[in-house]
């Protein structure tokens, strides 16, 4: 199992942990399936009224899709199979509130999860970045999710600057991506504290409010995401070209943290 779930029946809070610390909690196909199954299970579990989502260890919350994953693609240029599309709670019709607790790096495909969380609590040592352009890939889904949470100029800079820059937790807080900062050793406690408060309120009212909040932006989100497959098909380098860029990534200079 690569997704660890701990339930506290007394408080109504479940903590979901991406448990691939040696791989910086990158998501392989098994993890993607486990995440989807976890969210669907919570729909039926009345003892869970709020969720905290985090990553094992302190180095990374999640670094997106595992580079070892092979996702076969259809020959049609009109179709793209994205193994991360169903890893988030909203994609699985879960409207119980999810608080993300971000420790260390959050990048690339991690934004699928952050984009479907209600709010984010981050360790003061957390950093956010989007590596796609550096490696010849279009940031489509990730950029769209972040454009729902950040000022346009900030998400444009993060999406375009690739691995050359990282957004600090402080800057993420200043731009509204992060709603609370905590010291590394206090991160999970801070996120669980908020989740306990949410779990203590009448759950139908909380879920209805979550649904209302998402309905305010869902139409625009859906329209934007519908453009992603075509943009990826048009703009991505061939796999061999991407692989060559990944091979040389260790020679890249240290990223600037702002």
Smallest CA-to-CA distance from 65 within 130, 128, 7 is with 130
pLDDT, average across residues 144-156: 94
Interatomic CA distance for residues 126 and 139, integer angstroms: 21
> Which of 9-13, 63-67, 124-128 is predicted with the least confidence, judged by mean pLDDT?
63-67
Interatomic CA distance for residues 35 and 18, integer angstroms: 9
CB atoms within 10 A of CB 122: 30
pLDDT, one tens digit per residue, over 67-84 is: 888 777 777 767 777 889
- List the beta strands (DSSP E) in the chain: 3-8, 13-18, 50-55, 60-62, 98-102, 105-107, 119-123, 127-129, 165-168, 180-182, 256-257
**C-beta separation of 23 from 59 below 8 A:** no
> Which of 12-21, 147-156, 205-214, 240-249 is predicted with the least confidence, judged by mean pLDDT?
240-249
Six-digit token pair at 180?
């609370």
Question: What are the C-alpha distances in Å from 34 to residues 37, 92, 242, 247, 258?
Answer: 5, 12, 28, 30, 34
pLDDT at 198: 98
pLDDT, one tens digit per residue, over 218-258 is: 777 777 777 777 777 777 777 777 777 777 665 557 888 88
pLDDT at 228: 76
- List the beta strands (DSSP E) in 104-246: 105-107, 119-123, 127-129, 165-168, 180-182
pLDDT at 66: 92
pLDDT exceeds 80 at position 180: yes
Six-digit token pair at 25?
């909690």
Which domains, from first to last, does the chain contain?
1-66+84-183+203-249 (3.90.226.10)
């Amino acid at each position: 199992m690569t997704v660890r779930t701990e339930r506290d029946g007394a408080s109504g809070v479940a903590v979901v942990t991406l448990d691939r610390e040696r791989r910086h909690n990158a998501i392989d196909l098994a993890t993607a399936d486990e995440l989807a199954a976890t969210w669907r299970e919570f729909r039926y579990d009345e003892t869970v009224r709020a969720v905290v989502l985090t990553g094992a260890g302190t180095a990374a919350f999640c670094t997106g899709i595992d580079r070892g994953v092979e996702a076969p693609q259809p020959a049609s240029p009109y179709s793209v199979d994205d193994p991360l599309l169903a890893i988030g709670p909203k994609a699985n019709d879960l409207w119980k509130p999810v608080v993300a607790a971000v420790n260390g790096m959050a990048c690339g495909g991690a934004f699928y999860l952050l984009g479907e969380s209600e709010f984010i609590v981050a360790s003061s040592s957390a950093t956010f970045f989007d590596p796609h352009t550096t490696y010849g890939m279009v940031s489509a889904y990730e950029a769209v999710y972040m454009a729902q949470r950040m000022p346009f100029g900030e998400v444009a800079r993060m999406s375009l600057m690739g691995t050359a820059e990282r957004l600090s937790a402080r800057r993420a807080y200043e731009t509204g991506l992060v709603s609370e900062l905590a010291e590394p050793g206090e991160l999970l406690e801070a996120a669980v504290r908020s989740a306990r408060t949410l779990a203590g309120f009448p759950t139908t009212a909380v879920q209805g409010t979550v649904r209302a909040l998402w309905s305010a932006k869902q139409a625009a989100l859906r329209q934007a995401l519908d453009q992603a497959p075509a943009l990826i098909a048009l703009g991505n380098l061939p796999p061999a070209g991407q692989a060559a860029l990944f091979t040389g990534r260790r020679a890249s200079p240290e990223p600037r943290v702002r």
